[in-house]
Amino acid sequence: MSSSPETRRLTPKGQATRDRITAAAARLMYEQGVASTSTGDILEAAGVTSPSQLYHYFGDKKTLVQAIIEYQTEQVLSFQRPLLSKLDSFEALEAWRDAVVRAQHARGFQGGCPLGSLAAELSDVDPQARTQLMRGYSQWQDAISAGLRDMIRRRELDDGADPEQLALALLTALQGGLLMTQARRDTVALEVVLDAVINRIRCYAAD
């Protein structure tokens, strides 16, 4: 039995080609949706001439979508990782909030969250994709809650604070705020909801 596209060991050139296809497909699906992105669109964007090359690396579109979820999870977290890695003070929370707002201004308030866009389209129709998206969101939530736990350890937050719940609230506020940014073409709602959750966290500030 031949190895699957997921487990086959690739040469450096093969890995580069696979990465190029993944990045091109991720960009297209972010811009126009998974269902509206054809194999031909992906081949053209990635500079690949033969559909057989696409199937060599991914097997089918569902496997490609899984690779895209992994890719977008890493893209989102790598953008935020410098701030998420030290999200352990009120000043850091505000700096993270400001960075998120600036990013939306830089992209012209368009696009929303790459993970959120995939979740909206796939969660009801692809259980495997939904599970993978939830793993990505869990990584994001864990990164936020780790900083809040550090604040509890340093006695900046009292023991009544639940870092997991507060992190989930902050992440949920972010996702809703990004959707509103897309619809409103401004960051007013995003700023309001992030400030509301950060102020909620301040309620647990230790005396």
pLDDT in tens, 144-191: 999 999 999 999 999 999 999 999 999 999 999 999 999 999 999 999
9 burial via Cβ count (<10 Å: 0-12, 13-18, 19+): exposed
Local confidence band at 4 (pLDDT 50, 70, 90 cut-offs)? very low
pLDDT, position 146: 92
Number of other CB atoms surrounding residue 124 within 10 Å: 9
pLDDT, position 8: 59
CATH number belonging to domain 1-59: 1.10.10.60
Going from N- to C-terminal start, the domains of the chain cover 1-59, 62-202
Local confidence band at 42 (pLDDT 50, 70, 90 cut-offs)? very high
CATH number belonging to domain 62-202: 1.10.357.10
pLDDT, position 81: 80
Q: Which residues contact 37 (CB under 8 A, 6 or more apart)?
A: 25, 28, 29
pLDDT in tens, 90-137: 999 999 999 999 999 999 998 889 999 999 999 999 999 999 999 999
1-59 and 62-202 in the same fold? no
pLDDT, position 65: 94
